[in-house]
């Protein structure tokens, strides 16, 4: 169990115990006082009841009251989710690194094996957190609360992608390789032409399409051309570490309930820790409704 979770459990349990003691003590004192001040058969009855069955009634009432008081915010969120009948946000992550392509790139020297990547060239770094793992990690808590559904295609073949896209997805994220100059998307069993990819994605009611691939804007062109509401694409070669940082910033902000524009800016800001800010501004492109939010801002801390 993570340290933060242990701390939260201890804090909430301590709060529950203290609240119970306070409520129980208050009710018990109130009833005892009533029995003391009423010098009559009623007072005697109150004292007798308080010493018998009344004790356990007070215990139950105090437990319920303290539980509601301590976890009121969590109960509110839970009830609100049930009443709103909100469907979970569905995320599809497609990651492909075909062996044949990576071998070809290594032979031709197009993949730099050092962290000091050349200008306008991608690097190949083995210890980078991949996009599918980032998305899974960022939304793990929401997924456990059934607020989010994540499907990962890794490896991903043409038939895998076509079949997955028969379902309706809110976010579709591609972490693949674009083969130039004809802008073909490389999957594990071959390539898909740009025009074919646009047809596959068209009219799928995708709320956000993320193409974290070098020169991916060549495939998407515009949101209208590809038939999606919102789109993030790359204009040129994307350094691996900058891509990792951008993905972390983008989805971290989306998970917090921020708008797409603020999430996009968060991604760029984190990416600028790896490459020059001017290059970042030219590299990432967002098109669509900047005010759109996937999750409303709810403090789940």
Predicted confidence at residue 94, as pLDDT, reads 95
Residues 6+ apart with CB under 8 A from 198: 219, 220, 221, 225, 226, 227
pLDDT tens-place string over residues 144-184: 888 899 999 998 999 999 999 999 999 999 998 888 777 88
203, 227 Cβ separation under 8 angstroms: yes
Predicted confidence at residue 77, as pLDDT, reads 59
How many CB atoms within 10 Å of residue 263? 26
How many CB atoms within 10 Å of residue 209? 26
**What is the rounded CA–CA span in Å between residue 45 and residue 53?**
12
Predicted confidence at residue 211, as pLDDT, reads 93
217, 235 Cβ separation under 8 angstroms: yes
Query: What backbone phi and psi angles, to 5 degrees, belong to 144?
Result: -70, -25
46, 31 Cβ separation under 8 angstroms: yes
**Ranges in the chain, pLDDT < 70:** 1-8, 16, 28, 31-56, 58, 66-67, 70-86, 101-127, 296-301
Predicted confidence at residue 237, as pLDDT, reads 83
pLDDT tens-place string over residues 123-140: 455 567 889 999 999 999
Query: What backbone phi and psi angles, to 5 degrees, belong to 72?
Result: -60, -40
Q: What is the CA radius of gyration of the chain?
A: 28
The answer to whether the peptide bond before residue 11 is cis (omega within 30 degrees of 0) is: no
244, 273 Cβ separation under 8 angstroms: no
16, 10 Cβ separation under 8 angstroms: no
User: Which long-range CB contacts under 8 A does 269-273 form with residues at least 24 apart?
Assistant: 270/245, 270/246, 271/242, 271/243, 271/245, 271/246, 273/245
């Amino acid at each position: 169990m993570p340290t933060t979770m242990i701390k939260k459990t201890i804090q909430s349990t301590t709060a529950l115990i203290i609240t119970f003691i306070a409520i129980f003590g208050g009710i018990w004192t109130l009833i005892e006082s009533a029995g003391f001040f009423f010098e009559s058969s009623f007072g005697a009855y109150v004292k007798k009841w308080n010493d018998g069955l009344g004790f356990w009634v007070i215990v139950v009432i105090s437990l319920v009251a303290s539980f509601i008081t301590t976890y009121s915010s969590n109960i509110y969120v839970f009830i609100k989710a049930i009443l709103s009948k909100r469907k979970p946000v569905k995320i599809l992550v497609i990651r492909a690194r075909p062996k044949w392509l990576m071998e070809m790139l290594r032979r031709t020297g197009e993949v730099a094996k050092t962290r000091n990547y050349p200008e306008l060239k991608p690097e190949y770094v083995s210890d980078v957190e991949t996009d599918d793992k980032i998305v899974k990690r960022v939304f793990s808590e929401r997924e456990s609360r059934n607020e989010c559904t994540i499907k990962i295609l890794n490896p991903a073949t043409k038939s895998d992608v076509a079949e997955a896209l028969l379902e309706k997805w809110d976010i579709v994220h591609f972490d693949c390789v674009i083969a130039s100059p004809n802008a073909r998307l490389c999957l594990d069993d071959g390539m898909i032409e740009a025009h074919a990819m646009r047809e596959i994605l068209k009219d799928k009611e995708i709320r956000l399409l993320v193409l974290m691939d070098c020169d991916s804007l060549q495939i998407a062109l515009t949101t209208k051309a590809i038939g999606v509401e919102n789109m993030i694409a790359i204009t040129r070669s994307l350094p691996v570490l900058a891509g990792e940082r951008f993905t972390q910033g983008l989805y971290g902000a989306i998970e917090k309930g921020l708008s797409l524009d603020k999430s996009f800016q968060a991604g760029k800001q984190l990416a600028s820790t790896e490459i020059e800010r001017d290059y970042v501004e030219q590299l990432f492109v967002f098109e669509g409704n900047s005010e759109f939010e996937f999750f409303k801002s709810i403090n789940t801390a």
